[in-house]
Amino acid sequence: MDIRGKKILVIGGAGLIGSHVVEELLKEDVEEVIVYDNFCRGTCENLEEALKDPRCRIFEIGGDILQTDVLDAAMKGVDGVVHLAALWLLQCYEFPRAAFDVNIRGTFNVLEACVANKVARLVYSSSASVYGDAVEEPMTEGHPYNNWTFYGATKIAGEHMFKSYHTRYDLNGVGLRYMNVYGPRQDYKGTYIAVMMKILDNLDKGFPPVVFGDGSQAYDFIYVGDAARANVCALKSDVPFGFYNVGRGIKTSIKELTDLILKITGSDLNIQYEPAGQTFVTNRVGDATAAENDLGFRWTVDLEDGLGRLIQWRKSHIKEVEKRRKKAGIEEA
């Protein structure tokens, strides 16, 4: 879709990925970017820079995907929608009824509103959680659904609802299966990336970084700016429908991640290993080939550079990080 002169609605646009999607869209010649967010997890601070652009605004009436009349009003005259709103993994584990309402019923509401308002293209945020632990590596989009979490189940449901709406109503767009997205503005609620913030908290206090288990748990870490660009690529793509991995295709263990943080910060502390706690997935790395071939998306920020940017953001946003720490119920550093 040619997004020049178009109006784009970003649902969940105040969150980690969403706020970066908004900024990436504003680099394009769009007419307007509208943020639709209930600020359950997203923050106004995440949108501070974007809102300086007169083409960007927060939808004034509301931002909850369960309020169908408000959602419908937000989509009037919109050409493209990026849907990122969802309860995260641990919330889905602890509150499955709420997860059903937001992630499944809410996504259905988005699909219904898109059709009712003749939206040309939808980009849906799915997750690599649909795969669960890797059965084969790297995981292509044809990897079986090996998910055992309710969060993953809601994303699978969202994918199939989108698929059916594409078939029945010709609603075009793609779903993006993010690997482990990290970077500036992240909070402490990401199940697999919160470890970065907690390690940095310990280093700030002069305490050793803590790794639970032997550190062999391994994931595919993708910088948030790259994940945001993937959304813009998907929106601009002419692919009528499909699901795509968003990652680097590079596996990094938690031990390797911790060693890299120690290197970047210049710390001489040693890793402190503790008994393994609850872990939903221990091994996941995606094949990024299809997204490059079909959507024109390729990652650009390697892990060391991305961690450096995260560390710099923490240093320049001390008060904001403290607010996120308190919101997550973590004691002060």
Domains and CATH numbers, the chain: 7-181+222-246 (3.40.50.720), 184-220+250-283+301-326 (3.90.25.10)
The count of other CB atoms within 10 Å of the CB of residue 48 is 11
Q: Which of 36, 124, 131, 151 is catalytic?
A: 151
The count of other CB atoms within 10 Å of the CB of residue 168 is 9
Q: What is the pLDDT of residues 121-149, one digit of tens each?
A: 999 999 999 999 999 999 999 999 999 99
Label residue 332 by pLDDT band (50, 70, 90). Answer: low
Active site residue 178: no
What pLDDT, on a 0 to 100 scale, did the predictor assign at position 236? 98
Pair 81, 8: CB distance under 8 Å: yes
What pLDDT, on a 0 to 100 scale, did the predictor assign at position 333? 42
Q: What is the pLDDT of residues 5-48, one digit of tens each?
A: 999 999 999 999 999 999 999 999 999 999 999 999 999 999 99
Label residue 331 by pLDDT band (50, 70, 90). Answer: low
Residues in the chain, overall count = 333
Q: What is the pLDDT of residues 76-112, one digit of tens each?
A: 999 999 999 999 998 999 999 999 999 999 999 999 9
In the block, residue with structure tokens 């990290």: 182
Q: What is the mean pLDDT of residues 251-269?
A: 96
Share above pLDDT 90 across residues of the chain, in percent, rounded to a whole number:
90
Q: What is the mean pLDDT of residues 295-309?
A: 98
Helix 254-265 to helix 303-316 angle (10° resolution) is 60
Rounded-to-integer distance, Cα 222 and Cα 232, Å: 16
Label residue 327 by pLDDT band (50, 70, 90). Answer: confident
- Ranges of beta strands (E only) in 172-220 are 173-178, 180-182, 210-212, 218-219
